[in-house]
Structure 1
Amino acid sequence: MGEEIRYKQVILSNYAKTSVKESDLSLRTSKIHLKIPCGCDGAVLVKNLYLSIDPFILALMKNQELDLPSFTLDSVSLVLPIYGFGVSKVLDSSHPNFKTGELVWGFTSWEEYSLIKDPDQLFKIQDKDLPLSYFIGILGMPGMTAYVGFFKFCSPKKGETVYVSAASGAVGQLVGQFAKIAGCYVVGSAGNKEKVDLLKNKFRFDEAFNYKEEQDYNAALKRYFPDGIDIYFDNVGGKMLEAVLNSMRLNGRVALCGMISQYNSLEQPEGVHNLINALVKRVRMEGFFTSDHYHLYPKFLEIVVPLIKEEKITYVEDIAEGIESAPGALFGLYSGRNVGKLLVVVARE
């Protein structure tokens, strides 16, 4: 059966009512054999190295399904740990495509070791010259989200104007840099001065502003986009989306990537009351899930890896140490404490 060891897991204690609290999650100690059990053909056993802290986790903590099943509560028999994206090392495998010692990224559980029974959505990490943490950031789901959302759904043209909300986050910081490479004028918004300075000084946005200091979003957008917005990469939804529609140019495009302003109020979300602007201005608005586009991942790597190595794009991470820090890190994400891509180091390779 292999060596049996004790290991830590993060489980759901309470369904989040409004905003997430650290007490909604708790740590549990379990036992595991470091060998694939009998009857688990096609599975892989992994040691988790990095866990990604992502906004979609809140919806699953509120017992609401997006494109994924919600988490089970601790009161349920045989409760499973919560899950998300991670970087892992294969310790044992009964799947023909994965070998012991290989490094992978994809969906895993928030625990030190995981038995993944359906590893078909795991991606092998081939390039060992880059930090492993990048594969749940710039070279993982956030990077793919920025790439697919901006280039496939926004179809940028040189000289166009681009606005990115939540621009200092895991996705937004990349969208802005992609837009600059495409020859666009780019403005981003964030929630404090440190993040605004980061956008302008490190990520080379043309302008950036603190949305919390703006009393009137319409006036702010007119100030930065006097001739209107061609492309809006939306990470927040709500009142900001409504204001953007007032400033969109003819044949503008809106990529609906995230609705972080709505995640605490999914039962009574804010409405957008000016959709007539989308009609009159022939604006194309489209929502997307990155999981529908992973067939583009090899092409994405061909484009983005050289940009990283040539230092034409950069990436900022906010790293918490130890699986015990995961509940606090998630709380920090929703309270805006993080700067850049938020992740947890579970173990070093």
Structure 2
Amino acid sequence: MRAMALRSPGTPLVLEERPDPVPGPGEIRLRVEACGVCRTDLHVVDGELPHPKLPLVPGHEIVGIVDAMGGDVDGLAIGDRVGVPWLGHTCGHCRYCEEGRENLCDDPLFTGYTRDGGFATHTIADPAYAFPLDRDADPVAIAPLLCAGLIGWRSLVAAGPGGRIGIYGFGAAAHIIAQVCRWQGREVYAFTRPGDAAAQDFARSLGAVWAGGSDAAPPEPLDAAIIFAPVGSLVPAALKVIRKGGRVVCGGIHMSDIPGFPYRLLWEERQIVSVANLTRRDGGDFLRIAPQAGVRTETKRYPLEAANEALADLREGRLQGAAVLVP
């Protein structure tokens, strides 16, 4: 197998030739068809998330075909297509797992962070955390749904039922969840880097009723705002534009420090909440909803060997939609 491996945080990935992995009991092996490149991958590669498995194969938006299975695997067969997300395994017995909040498990494994992921031709996965996928669909189009879509969905649920939704950072997650918002009959207000006319036009093409810089104010107060950009100063900015009783949802796994702000921005029962990881129920719910909503992903394909280029394009904001590696 071939893999793009991280040997030390802050350094480029290195192409490696490795023996094909062998699935153990309760494991499956996938022939990777496509793997999305997520901002979380950047946080791992750039050293902003601590203690990754090293050496590490990043990537947690995996679409692949089951080509080998260990013992004690039920419900899957050789040749099935599945998707593997960020949450790769949970303990099943901590208080959070027992409460149905496995996204907060005390002893989890995360794909492409604490276990090898999909920047490779093959990978090993826990079948309990692999979602069945349509064999006839385009694997490149599906891949961004497995994190950008899932965390976008969890963020939207956390935002509540309000009709006017602001989205800060119009990248992979935003371009997916904006389509769901429009299908649900909500209005989308897109906030981009100031002066980024291309991103604002992209947002409008997906149905946003307003698009402007993150330093701008929308024409009316919003019911909720979701922040996908990892910029802490956007939290008080979002509080300024939501109505009384509104909610700001921080949708990323990493964010720069939130600066101090006047209490009056939070008063009148405004809320700041975060989302962490996902649950398998999130995956099942969203993967049923996405085709109903007619979600179409905007993708740019890269060969496996160009993983560093894809990461650089994401880091520098040169992408509309999502980058996807195709081994």
- Structure with the larger RCO, 1 or 2 (CA within 8 Å, 6+ apart): 2
Q: Which residue number corresponds to residue 280 of structure 1?
A: 267
Residue 122 in structure 1 maps to residue 130 in structure 2: yes
Residue 319 in structure 1 maps to residue 319 in structure 2: no
Give the alignment partner of residue 11 of structure 1, picking from 5, 14, 23.
5
Residue 136 in structure 1 maps to residue 143 in structure 2: yes
Give the alignment partner of residue 45 of structure 1, picking from 29, 32, 47.
29
Q: Secondary structure at the match of 1:333?
A: helix
Q: Secondary structure at the match of 2:318?
A: coil
**Aligned partners of 1:185, 1:101: CA distance in 2, in Å?**
41
Q: Which residue number corresponds to residue 317 of structure 2?
A: 336
| TM-score, length-scaled by structure 1 | 0.75
**Aligned partners of 1:109, 1:176: CA distance in 2, in Å?**
26
Give the alignment partner of residue 92 of structure 1, picking from 68, 81, 96.
68
Structure 1 pair 230–137 and aligned structure 2 pair: CA distance change class (3 A): same
Which residues in structure 2 correspond to 1:183-332 (within 5 Å)?
183-191=185-193, 192-200=196-204, 202-211=205-214, 217=215, 220-221=216-217, 224-225=218-219, 227-236=220-229, 237-258=231-252, 262=255, 269-274=256-261, 276-291=263-278, 293-308=279-294, 313-320=295-302, 322-332=303-313
Q: Which residue number corresponds to residue 156 of structure 1?
A: 161
**Aligned partners of 2:39, 2:26: CA distance in 1, in Å?**
30
Residue 179 in structure 1 maps to residue 181 in structure 2: yes
How far did 1:89 drift? 0.9
How far did 1:340 drift? 0.3
**Aligned partners of 1:180, 1:145: CA distance in 2, in Å?**
17
Percent identity, aligned pairs only, is 16
Structure 1 pair 111–270 and aligned structure 2 pair: CA distance change class (3 A): same
Q: Which runs of 5+ in 2 are unaligned?
A: 85-110, 112-116
> Is this contact kept in 2: 1:154–1:231, CA < 8 A?
yes
> Is this contact kept in 2: 1:245–1:274, CA < 8 A?
no
Q: Secondary structure at the match of 2:159?
A: coil
**Aligned partners of 1:300, 1:259: CA distance in 2, in Å?**
19
**Aligned partners of 2:174, 2:31: CA distance in 1, in Å?**
30
1:251-309: CA deviation from partner (whole Å, max 9, x where unpaired):
0011110277x4xxxxxx43331261354121122111242x3214333333331222x
RMSD: 2.4
Q: Which residue number corresponds to residue 28 of structure 1?
A: 16
Paired AA for residue 142 in structure 1? A
How far did 1:210 drift? 4.2
> Is this contact kept in 2: 1:44–1:98, CA < 8 A?
no
**Aligned partners of 2:124, 2:288: CA distance in 1, in Å?**
31
Q: Which residue number corresponds to residue 20 of structure 1?
A: none
**Aligned partners of 1:145, 1:105: CA distance in 2, in Å?**
15
How far did 1:14 drift? 3.1
Residue 112 in structure 1 maps to residue 121 in structure 2: yes
**Aligned partners of 2:53, 2:25: CA distance in 1, in Å?**
25
Which residues in structure 2 correspond to 1:54-65 (within 5 Å)?
54-63=38-47, 65=49
How far did 1:48 drift? 0.8
Structure 1 pair 130–114 and aligned structure 2 pair: CA distance change class (3 A): closer
Q: Which residue number corresponds to residue 266 of structure 1?
A: none
> Is this contact kept in 2: 1:189–1:208, CA < 8 A?
yes
**Aligned partners of 1:302, 1:336: CA distance in 2, in Å?**
30
**Aligned partners of 1:190, 1:255: CA distance in 2, in Å?**
16
> Is this contact kept in 1: 2:180–2:293, CA < 8 A?
no
Structure 1 pair 120–248 and aligned structure 2 pair: CA distance change class (3 A): same
1:30-49: CA deviation from partner (whole Å, max 9, x where unpaired):
2327xx47xx2222222111
Q: Which runs of 5+ in 1 are unaligned?
A: 1-6, 17-22, 73-78, 212-216, 263-268
> Is this contact kept in 2: 1:203–1:314, CA < 8 A?
no
**Aligned partners of 1:190, 1:317: CA distance in 2, in Å?**
19
**Aligned partners of 2:66, 2:296: CA distance in 1, in Å?**
29
**Aligned partners of 1:166, 1:80: CA distance in 2, in Å?**
28
How far did 1:62 drift? 4.5
How far did 1:172 drift? 0.6
**Aligned partners of 1:135, 1:314: CA distance in 2, in Å?**
9
Structure 1 pair 46–161 and aligned structure 2 pair: CA distance change class (3 A): closer
Structure 1 pair 48–210 and aligned structure 2 pair: CA distance change class (3 A): same
How far did 1:12 drift? 1.3
> Is this contact kept in 2: 1:190–1:210, CA < 8 A?
yes
How far did 1:146 drift? 2.1
